[in-house]
């Protein structure tokens, strides 16, 4: 399997598991909800940077 494809699958699976975990905790206070949303955004931004780095490495054939 292509390593990039496998990383995408792992990312999606981890995010789904994270969402399920948060839902299992019930209703969050406003402050916690805001922190959680910020963490999700940071997670997605980090993932996007990783994908960009992989694209650059593929172009360089490293």
Q: How confident is the model at residue 1 (pLDDT cuts 50, 70, 90)?
A: low
**Contact of 55 with 27, CB cutoff 8 Å:** no
Mean pLDDT of the 49-55 span: 91
Q: How confident is the model at residue 62 (pLDDT cuts 50, 70, 90)?
A: low
Where does the chain show beta strands of DSSP type E?
A: none
Q: Name every residue whose Cβ is closer than 8 Å to that of residue 43 and which is 6 or more positions away in sequence.
A: 15
The two counts, helices (H) then strands (E), for the chain are 2, 0
Q: What angle do CA 56, 12, 58 make, to 5 degrees?
A: 15
Condensed to tens digits (0 to 9), the pLDDT of residues 21-42 reads 888 988 889 899 899 999 999 9
Q: Is the pTM here over 0.85, yes or no?
A: no
């Amino acid at each position: 399997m292509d390593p990039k494809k496998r990383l995408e699958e792992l990312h999606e699976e981890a995010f789904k598991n994270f969402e399920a975990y948060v839902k299992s905790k019930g209703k969050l206070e406003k402050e916690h909800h805001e922190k959680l949303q910020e963490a999700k955004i940071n997670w997605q931004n980090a993932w996007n940077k990783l994908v960009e780095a992989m694209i650059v490495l593929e172009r360089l054939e490293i």
